Amino acid sequence: MTAARELLLEVGYPGLSMEAVAARARVSKPTLYLRYPTKLALVFEAVFGKTKALSIPDTGDVVTDLLEAYEWAVAEFAAPEARAALPGMLADLSASAESTRLVRSRVVEPEYARVHDLLKRAQRRGQIRDDFDLSLVIDAFLGTALARATIIDRPLDRAFAAQLVDLLVGGLAPRSTR
């Protein structure tokens, strides 16, 4: 995985090849292909396979809880290896239904579930509206973070996460408090 991360930083996703990773890692191409059938699978594991979403503590405050959830995602997307890989990975994902299913099941669905649970708790407490599609809230954050990581040259950091959480929670506030 170190070889893949190093090469991503040196040549980017388009320039990375399984052959170059195998040579850098001093393993045979067949060995590499046995474990990672595609460049996308290899890069996904190299960039995102080392971390797992953490459980979100229930502090009783939706802003604090969302910041905890989203700071993890921001840190993942802000890493130099992720910024080098994401544009090419997204392009490859759009061309492969099987890869899309894999990423969806390993990353997207678990992340959506944990944030959805957080938002449902906030709804039960009356902290946010109960007439809102919670998936849209998650989409808004994910889309904005991905845009910053791939096509917009803007910071992807704690300040970004805090401002976006403030914007989202403001839009979700119960109508009587807005």
pLDDT tens-digit readout, 9-33: 999 999 999 999 999 999 999 999 9
**How far is 47 from 42, CA to CA, in rounded Å?**
9
Reported pTM: 0.81
CATH 1.10.10.60-classified regions of the chain: 1-50
The arrangement of secondary structure in 1-50, i.e. its CATH architecture, is Orthogonal Bundle (1.10)
CATH 1.10.357.10-classified regions of the chain: 51-177
- In Å, the largest CA–CA distance within the chain is 64
Q: What is the CA radius of gyration of the chain?
A: 18
Q: pLDDT digits over 67-114, tens only?
A: 988 888 898 899 999 999 999 999 999 999 988 998 888 888 988 999
Average pLDDT over residues 103-127: 91
Residue 170: the pLDDT is 87
Tally helices (H) and strands (E) across the chain: 10, 0
Reported CATH class of domain 51-177: mainly alpha
Average pLDDT score, the chain: 91
